[in-house]
Amino acid sequence: MSTTWHILGAGSLGTLWATRLARAGMPVRLILRNTERLASYQAGPGLTLVEHGVAQTYPVSAETPDTPEPIHRLLVACKAYDAQSAIAQLQHRLAPHAELILLQNGLGSQDAVAARQPHAHCIFASSTEGAFRDGEWRVVFAGHGYTWLGDAARPTAPPWLDDLLVAGIPHEWSIDILTRLWRKLALNCAINPLTVLYQCRNGGLQAHPCEVATLCAELSELLDCCGQPAASQDLHDEVQRVIQATAANFSSMYQDVANLRRTEISYLLGYACQAAARHQLPVPHLRAVQARLVEQLVARGLPSD
C-alpha cells in the first residue's frame, strides 16, 4: 500500500491533485480547516472535477487537523500567505522526516515553512496547470500544464513520483527548481501587477511596451544579483511572448482583485523588492509599481500584504 497523500487545502489545486490521485486508487485524505468545513464537505457527495466539460465526483475522505493519525506525506495546497500557519496546526502529526510538497506560487513561503520544519523534507513545486472553483467542493480543470518538483538539498528524484505517473499528473523532477521559481516570479512581476494597474487583459500590456521593458531590465539585474543568471536569460523576450500568447487572459492577480480576494503580492513583487533591498540594488520602477498596486488594494479594502 502506498503512503497516504494528505492534502492540506481543498481549493483549486488541492482538488485537482486529490481527485486525480484518488481516481488512480491512491490513498488520499483531505485536511479541512475545521469541523464546520468538514460538515459542509460531508453533507455532499465528495469532490467534483470538471474536465473537458464533464463533471465527475470522487468521494475522497476528509478530516480536520485534530485527527490523531501521523502524516508522512503532505501536499500543501493553500495560498502562500496561509501555508505556514496551516502546517503549524499539524505540527504534532508530522512524522519525523515527513515529506512536505509545497505548491505555493512565488517565493518566501517555502523558506518560511522549511525554517519552521527543520526535520521535514520540503519539496518545492512550480506548476503551469490551471484550475478554478466554480462552486463549493467543485473545481474546473482550466489549463493543462506541467508541474516541476525539486528539493535544493536532494538532487535525486523520490520514488513516490510513480504515484503521479499512475495518476496522470504531468510532472518532472527538477534539479534547478529555484531557477524555475525565480523565473516564474519574474514573469509574474513583469505582467500581473500592470494588468491590475491598467485594468486590462494580458494583451493590454502591448500598449505599454516601455514600462514592461523597464521592469524586465530591473528584474533581470535582480536575478543576476541573487545568483540566478539562468532565470534572467532573455526574460524580456519571454515576457513579450507570454503577453502575446495569453493576450485574451486575465492574470491571476487581476482575477483576485476583481473578485475582492487577497492577492499573493508579498510573495511576488514584495519578495522581489525585499531581495533588491537586501542586495542594495536600486529598483525604482519595481518599487513604484509596488506602491501603486498597494494603493489600489487599499482603495478596494483588500489586504496590502
Interface positions with ligand NAP (CB under 6 A): 8-14, 31-33, 37, 77-80, 82, 86, 89, 103-105, 127, 129-131, 133, 264
C-alpha cell at 56: 465527475
Q: Which of 64, 65, 80 is nearest to 124 (CA)?
A: 80
Give phi and psi for 148, each to the nearest 5. -100, 135
Edge-to-edge order in the sheet of strand 138-143: 54-58, 47-51, 138-143, 130-135
Q: Minimum CB separation from ligand NAP for residue 253, in Å?
A: 10
SS3 category, 203: helix
Q: Rounded to a whole number, what is the distance in angstroms from the first to the last CA of the chain? A: 42
Residue number, 32 or 178, with CB nearest to ligand NAP: 32
User: Least distance in Å: CB of 85 to ligand NAP?
Assistant: 6
The rounded distance, in Å, linking the Cα atoms of 108 and 126 is: 13
Query: How near is the Cβ of 225 to ligand NAP at its closest, in Å?
Result: 25
H-state helical runs in 156-251: 161-167, 177-197, 209-225, 229-232, 235-245
Query: What does each C-alpha distance from 290 to 51, 189, 210, 287 come to in angstroms?
Result: 36, 10, 17, 5
CB of 61 to ligand NAP, least distance (A): 15
Catalytic residue among 149, 184, 222, 236: 184
CB under 8 Å to 36, separation ≥6 — which residues? none
C-beta closer to ligand NAP: residue 31 or 220: 31
Q: By beta-carbon distance, which residue lies closest to ligand NAP?
A: 11
CB of 219 to ligand NAP, least distance (A): 19
Q: Which residues pair with 130 in a beta bridge?
A: 143
Taking the least distance from each CB to ligand NAP, the nearer of 127 and 195 is 127
Catalytic annotation present for 79: no
The dihedrals phi and psi of 121, each to the nearest 5 degrees, come to -95, 115
Known catalytic residues are 184
